[in-house]
Each structure stands twice: as structure tokens, then as C-alpha cells.
Structure 1
Amino acid sequence: MLSLRAVNQFYGSQHTLWNVDLDLPQGLCTGVIGLPGMGKTTLMNCITGVLPVESGTIVWHEAGAPPRNLLSKSPEQHSPLGIGYVPQDRRIFSQLTIEENLHVAMRAMGTSDAAAKSDVYDLFPQLYMLRKNRANGLSTDDQYQLALASALVNRPRVLILDEPLYGAGHSFAQKLGQLLVRLNRELGMTVLLAEQQLSFIRRVADRFCMLYRGRNVAQGHVNALDDELIAHWMSRDAWR
């Protein structure tokens, strides 16, 4: 559904992404892995239009429609295509209730599908029980669930998550893993996530893309993510 070719990005004079190629096959979960500072969040922000791309292409493929160049679209124009994004900082409305946050997400897309909201509450029963509570009073885990629910309420075809386990405990990691497997393998949603916890990637992903200093140094089926590859590119010695 998404394909990136020779994507380069700069922060000022600093070259942060170097000729990154990545394919996001429909119906699969792809994990972007790498140590902190290797370009995972930068890549997510380029795909979602938050950051400008210096050169290369990011193309959206949809059955029965011509390919669309996402580089010509603003971040607000990504959602109507069917792209849901949960950044690392969640970006929920802290003074609004859970219910109000979901209404805002739906209104931003111009929808009022009550069934979609009901489906989201089925996925997150804890949020339904707390739906009248303000977001700033929620636990860190529930705040992330709200951010994820806000992305899912518009039924995206591609769900993009940046460091979903940042600051999360083991219990939440287990719950999120089960949810992603359900979304991906039972409901057919295409998922892209940036994460540095390898055990999580191995559990939920079909494919991986490994970044090292902004370069895509390895990719393929998650079974190819072996100890030798990890030792070479994800040990602290690899930084030297």
C-alpha cells in the first residue's frame, strides 16, 4: 500500500535519512527497528507528512486507483486516504473527555459513524468505562489507548505507530501486542510501527526494516531477524 524509494531527509545541514527504501505490503505488519537516534521517528514523520523530504518518493497504492505521491500532500490530507497515525507523544486533548476526544477525531474527518465508535469501545472496554473522564486524569497506558482509539475510530487502512511501548509496562505491552495481532491478522489492517523492543517486533510483525544512522541496512521477513544481525547493528559497539 505504501512504497518509499531513495528517501532523503535533512535537519538543517544534518543528513538524517539516507536513500531509504521500504515497502509496506497490504495486510501485513512491518516493524522499523533500531537503537535510539537511528532515524525511526524521523522516518515515521516523513511518511505521515509531518517532516519534509529532501528527495525520493513516497507513493500510496490503492486497488483500482492510480498511485498517489504523498509528498505533495499535507499531513491533514493523509487521514482521508486511510492513514491513521499515533505519534510517540500521543497528541490527545488533555482537557477533553475520552468521548469528546473521539468526537473531535471523527469530526476532523467529517464523519459521525456511531458504529465505528462502538467498534472502538469494543476494542478498548476500559475506555468505555472511563468515557466521561478527562484525558489528563488517565493513566499513561490509558492515554495511549485513547490516542490509538482516536486513530482507529475513522477505520484507517494503514495504522502507523511511533514507539508505542515508550514508557509502557509489561502488562500494557502484552495487551497492545494482542490488539495489534487482532487488527492485523483478524481484521486485515496494514500496520507499520517503529519500536526498539525486539521481542515485541518478533511477536507482532511479519516483516522488519532495520535503520542504522538513517540508513536501511537490513529488511525482510521477521524470521531473518537473527542474533547475528542484531549483534552487528543493534549493539552499543555498532555506534562507534
Structure 2
Amino acid sequence: MLSLRAVNQFYGESHVLWNLDLELAPGECTCVLGAPGMGKTTLVNCITGYLPVQSGSMTWLEAGHPPQDLLTQPIEGRAALGMSYVAQDRRIFSQLSVEENLQIALLAARIPSRAIPNMIYELFPELYSLRHMRGGELSDYLQQQLALARALVTEPKLLILDEPTFGSGQRFINDLGNIIRRLSRDFGLTILLVEQRLSFIRRVADRFCLLHRGRNVAQGNVALLDDKLVSSWIDP
């Protein structure tokens, strides 16, 4: 689905990402983890197009289509390919209704004629009865649901989640884990998860990529993410 090769990124003279390689396989959930300040969100911003890449390559791979050079695509072009992103701060429109938040996501993706997919209210049944309520009037739990629903309404091929459990209650964390597993298993969605909660990572991820000072120091099947490896690179 997405292949990164020798990606480098700088903030001024500060080298933030170092020759980073990453493979996102179709239908799998890959987690990027590491201590704070190690380059996780920077990597996401490079993939989504919010930050430029100094060198390296990012290639979008889709069955039946020629490879696409992601670095030539603007943010909206990456969304059109099938990339969707949920930021840590949710970014819902508080003055718009639940339904309007979903519809504006369709408009932004230039598919205004498409109806809200049935799977949205199937995955988030509580939002259906509240679809005419303004986003800012929802509880934190339901706002988190809405942010995720808005990312899924365009039926993306790649879903990027930036620390979705941060500041979340246990109810949402449990529900989110169920949804991630279902999205990858039943819908074949590819997921890139930036996360630090190890119990959650081990529950939902298929593969991991461990960053330390902008370098990929370990990666592989999530079964390899044992306590010894974590303590070597993350724990003090």
C-alpha cells in the first residue's frame, strides 16, 4: 500500500528523520512507537504532506494501478488517492451537526454526491440518533467517535491515527480496539497507528516500527515487541 525508502527530514539544521524505511502492507495495522520527541508525528506529517521530505521516496502501491510518487502529490491529492487522517486534537467542526461534519468530509474529498456509507452508523450507532446535534455539544467520547467516523466516511484505503488513545477513557479505548480489528479484518483497511500504549498496540497491531531519535531501530511482527526490546529503547 505504501513504501518509504531512506526518508530524511529536517527542521532547520536539525536532522529529525534519518534514512527511514517503512512498509505498510494492505489490510494490516502497523504501529509506529517510540518515546516522545523521537519523530513519530513528524513521520505522519511527512506522509500526509503537511511537512516536506528532504530526500528519499514515498510510493503509493495499489493493486491494478501503476505506482504513484507520493512526494509529487499535495495534501488534497493524497486524500484523493485514499488516505485519511485523524489528528490527536480531533479537529471536528463544533458548530456543525454530526451529519454536517460527515458531509463536509465528503465535500473536501470532492465526492459530494456520495451518501454517508451505511457502515458509518453501523460502526457508530450512537451517532445516528444524534446526527442533528452540533459536534461541540457531544461528550468527549462521542466527539472521538465523530472524528474517527469523519475519517472513514470517504471509505479510505489507508487510515492514519495519531495517538488516538491519548487522553481517552477506557470505554473509547476498548471500542477503538474493536473497530480497528474489524476495519482491517472485515474491510481490508490498511492502518498506520502512532501509539505509546503497549497493551493497546499488542492488541490491535500486526506489525510495528520502533523509532529512536528519528531512526527505525526495530521493526517486524508485533509478537517481537517484547518487554526487553521496549525497555532498551523507550523505558528510562
Q: Does TM, scored on the shorter chain, surpass 0.5?
A: yes
2:100 corresponds to 1:114? no
The equivalent residue for 1:201 is: 201
SS for the counterpart of 2:161 is strand
Counterpart position of 1:134? 134
Q: What TM-score do the two structures reach when normalised by structure 1?
A: 0.95
Q: CA deviation at 1:52?
A: 0.7
Report 1:45-64 matches (<5 A): 45-64=45-64
- The offset of 1:26, in angstroms, is 0.7
Shift of the alpha carbon at 1:110? 2.5
1:179 Cα offset (Å):
0.4
Aligned residues: 235
Shift of 1:6: 0.7
Letter in structure 2 aligned against 1:191: I
- DSSP-derived class of the 1:150 partner: helix
The residue identity in structure 2 corresponding to 1:14 is: S
Q: What is the identity, as a one-letter code, of the residue corresponding to 1:74?
A: P
Report if aligned partners of 2:76, 2:109 keep a CA contact under 8 Å in 1.
no
Task: Determine the structure 1 residue equivalent to 2:26.
Answer: 26
Alignment match, 2:192: 192
Deviations 1:126-174 (A, max 9, x none): 1112111111112222212111111111100111111101110111110
What fraction of aligned residue pairs are identical, expressed as a percent? 60
Native 8 Å contact 2:210 2:218 kept in 1? yes
Structure 2 equivalent of residue 43 of structure 1: 43
> 1:115 Cα deviation (Å)?
5.4
Q: Secondary structure at the match of 1:100?
A: helix
AA in 1 matched with 2:215: R
Counterpart for residue 78 of structure 1: 78
Aligned residues of 2:59 and 2:69 also touching (Cα < 8 A): yes
SS of alignment partner, residue 89 of structure 2: coil
SS for the counterpart of 1:114 is: coil
Which consecutive residues of structure 1, in runs of 5 or more, have no partner in the other structure?
none
Q: Distance in 2 between matches of 1:89 and 1:14?
A: 26
Question: How far has the Cα of 1:184 moved from its partner?
Answer: 0.6
> What do you get for the CA RMSD once the two structures are aligned?
1.1
CA distance in 2, matches of 1:171, 1:92: 20
CA apart distance, 1:113: 2.3
Tell me how far apart the structure 2 counterparts of residues 184 and 65 of structure 1 sit (CA, whole Å): 21
Query: In structure 2, how many angstroms separate the alpha carbons of the residues matched to 1:121 and 1:132?
Result: 13
Distance 2:133 2:43 in 1: 34
Unpaired stretches in structure 2, ≥5 consecutive residues: none
Residue in structure 2 matched with residue 104 of structure 1 by the alignment: 104
**How many Å separate the matches in 1 of 2:86 and 2:4?**
20
Tell me what 2:181 maps to.
Answer: 181
Matched AA of 1:154: T
